[in-house]
């Protein structure tokens, strides 16, 4: 049986939850076979091999969502969990509660349907971590209404069905507003703290100051910084605009001049930030586990960082035209 890179990774406290996680987390959005989002298909056998390899490797944190492939990501992870007889000791699994993909319904009743389906697909009877996912797709008033999404998830936490509740989403101002409610224990931002776009910085400041677990997703901007701007000219799930492509090419040029893989700099830009607890990397191939550990620990000369600081040209929300 082949094994993933056996190098050990440190464990960090996941905010104040008592959980401990590695500085990198396996992201399972592309594992849900979301061709519309990632522009490629992921066959089931490759997905299952990737999850099996994850459970042989040194990363202990795995992230999915009810919405990824409308349950397909959770179903695939669940298939491997059943082979293993459940979630092995020492691992942390996080999922997210989602709106109805067909109707946009984000009600409390929909949160129940989402959480109950996730439990079924993953074969679990409770969750260590669940995030309220992408609340930008409805109003603040809807989420916060009596019997609404937030109240329902909080009551799952009181019952112990959810041990720890987080908030995950896009717009930074909105995430700040949610964490100011002081009910969440973790926050996920994505595509907004990378070599190319750093607009999440004020959120990272506030969330780490409050002692939350701070999770930075999509360090490769959904792939461009891992596969390269020519092989995968997309940022945040859409064709990258010209200024982003140009910035990615400049980052690539700086990295090659220093003999550093672009993906290593992109990943360590996040992993080395003391405000960030863990960085979620999306992957759908078994070899990615060892590659990710290699990239996270690749030696990078200090002088690369100030040079790379100069390339982050994009100041706007990368998904502004996707809502």
Ligand X SMILES: NC(=O)c1ccc[n+]([C@@H]2O[C@H](COP(=O)([O-])OP(=O)(O)OC[C@H]3O[C@@H](n4cnc5c(N)ncnc54)[C@H](OP(=O)(O)O)[C@@H]3O)[C@@H](O)[C@H]2O)c1
Residues in contact with ligand X by the rule CB under 6 A: 27-30, 38, 63, 96, 133-134, 168-169, 188, 190, 217-223, 226-227, 263, 280-285, 288, 291-292
Burial 143-169 (b: 16+ CB within 10 A, else e): beeeebbbebbeebbeeebbbbbbbbb
Q: In the structure encoding, which two tokens stand for residue 241, read together?
A: 């605009």
- Nearer CB in complex with ligand X: 11/227: 227
- Nearer CB in complex with ligand X: 96/250: 96
Neighbours of 101 (CB within 10 A): 11
CB of 138 to ligand X, least distance (A): 14
CB of 218 to ligand X, least distance (A): 3
Burial 218-251 (b: 16+ CB within 10 A, else e): bbbbbbbbbebbeebbbbbbeebeeebbebbebb
CB of 146 to ligand X, least distance (A): 26
* Contact yes or no for 263/295 (Cβ under 8 A): yes
- Nearer CB in complex with ligand X: 118/302: 118
CB of 160 to ligand X, least distance (A): 23
* Contact yes or no for 217/63 (Cβ under 8 A): yes
Neighbours of 29 (CB within 10 A): 24
Which residue lies nearest ligand X, judged by its C-beta?
282
What region does 40 belong to: left with phi over 0, alpha with psi -120 to 50, or beta?
A: beta
Q: In the structure encoding, which two tokens stand for residue 15, read together?
A: 């905010």
* Contact yes or no for 214/275 (Cβ under 8 A): yes
CB of 30 to ligand X, least distance (A): 5
- Strand-pairing partners, residue 162, are 127
- Nearer CB in complex with ligand X: 28/150: 28
- Nearer CB in complex with ligand X: 46/117: 46
- Nearer CB in complex with ligand X: 159/231: 231
CB of 142 to ligand X, least distance (A): 18
CB of 211 to ligand X, least distance (A): 20
- Nearer CB in complex with ligand X: 111/303: 111
Q: In the structure encoding, which two tokens stand for residue 274, read together?
A: 């003391």
DSSP 110-158: HHHHHHHHHHHHHT-SSEEEEEEE-GGGS-HHHHTSTTSHHHHHHHHHH
């Amino acid at each position: 049986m082949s094994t993933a890179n056996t190098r050990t990774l440190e464990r960090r406290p996941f905010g104040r939850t008592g959980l401990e996680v590695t500085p990198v987390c396996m992201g399972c959005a592309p594992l849900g076979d979301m061709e519309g989002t990632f522009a490629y298909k992921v066959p089931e056998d490759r997905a299952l091999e990737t999850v099996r390899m994850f459970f042989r490797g040194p990363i202990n944190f795995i992230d999915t969502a009810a919405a990824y492939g409308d349950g397909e990501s959770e179903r695939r992870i669940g298939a491997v969990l059943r082979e293993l007889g459940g979630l092995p000791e020492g691992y942390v699994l996080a999922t997210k509660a989602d709106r109805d993909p067909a109707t946009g319904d984000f009600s409390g009743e929909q949160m129940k349907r989402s959480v109950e389906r996730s439990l079924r697909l993953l074969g679990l009877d409770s969750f260590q971590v669940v995030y309220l996912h992408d609340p930008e797709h409805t109003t603040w008033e809807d989420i916060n209404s009596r019997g609404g999404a937030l109240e329902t998830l909080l009551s799952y936490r009181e019952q112990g069905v959810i041990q720890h509740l987080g908030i995950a989403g896009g717009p930074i101002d909105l995430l700040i507003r949610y964490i100011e409610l002081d009910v969440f224990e973790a926050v996920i931002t994505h595509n907004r703290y990378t070599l190319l776009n750093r607009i999440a910085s004020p959120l990272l400041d506030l969330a780490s100051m409050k002692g939350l677990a701070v999770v930075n997703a999509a360090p490769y901007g959904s792939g461009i910084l891992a596969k390269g701007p020519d092989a995968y000219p997309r940022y945040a799930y859409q064709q990258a605009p010209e200024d982003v492509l140009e910035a990615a090419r400049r980052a690539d040029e700086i990295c090659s001049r220093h003999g550093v893989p672009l993906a290593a700099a992109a990943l360590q830009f996040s992993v080395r930030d003391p405000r960030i607890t863990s960085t979620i990397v999306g992957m759908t191939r078994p070899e990615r586990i060892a590659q990710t550990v290699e990239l996270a620990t690749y030696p990078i000369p200090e002088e690369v960082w100030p040079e790379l600081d100069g390339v982050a040209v994009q100041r706007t929300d990368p998904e502004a035209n996707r809502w």
